Amino acid sequence: MARMKFLCDADRCIECNACVTACKNENDVPWGINRRRVVTINDGKPGERSVSMACMHCTDAPCASVCPVDCFYTTADAVVLHSKDLCIGCGYCFYACPFGAPQYPKVGNFGSRGKMDKCTFCAGGPEADGSKAEYEKYGANRLAEGKLPLCAEMCSTKSLLAGDGDVIAQIYKERVSRRGYGSGAWGWQTAYRETIAT
């Protein structure tokens, strides 16, 4: 069985936020929640890099290990999902996740923030029945239709990859081998040497 994974190639991401918009539209995500976001490091400076972030569907998910009601589970495709029916909104998963994926749907006092929401890899919820109720709670179930998450499909530079982890790793490996290593891969080394020489 395929192990579904995300990978964002920081050398290709142009911070267009198409992935964020696609996710919000496809899953009808409420205002204030972004299941996916673009993080930029060294914004406007040399070495600037942008990365599209969401739930990375970890093999040994920290969110699942801290959940007191065991509402997180891993599907046969290695997608980490959670049941909103079991969730009590304690927020432990939010603090345990290194990617900040689980989020409260509302801002407010502790008891009024609601149950956690997170990226589902467009795999719906535990019911996986394609019902309107499932869509309202979890969003689209594109995997059941044989499609990949819309965030990756809408990425114009193909920076965000989604699908079988082995296939994605091979794609990235080929990119890196074509790209070369370090600054020399982009011709910066040559320009730097010419500047020093003059």
- Residue 85 · residue 72 · CB < 8 Å: no
Q: 25-61, pLDDT tens digit by residue? A: 999 887 778 899 999 998 888 888 999 999 999 999 9
Domain total in the chain: 1
Query: In one letter, which amino acid is 94?
Result: F
Which tens digit of pLDDT belongs to each residue from 136-150? 889 999 998 999 999
Cα–Cα distances in Å, from 68 out to 87, 88, 111?
9, 9, 16
Do residues 122 and 27 make contact, with C-beta atoms less than 8 angstroms apart?
yes
CA distance 88 to 163: 30
CA 41 to chain centroid: 17
Average pLDDT over residues 92-112: 86
- How much is the pLDDT for 122? 94
Task: Give dist(CA 154, CA 22) in Å, integer.
Answer: 7
pTM: 0.83
β-pair partners for 81: 73
**In which domain, by residue range, is 176 found?**
4-197
CATH number of the domain bearing residue 117 = 3.30.70.20
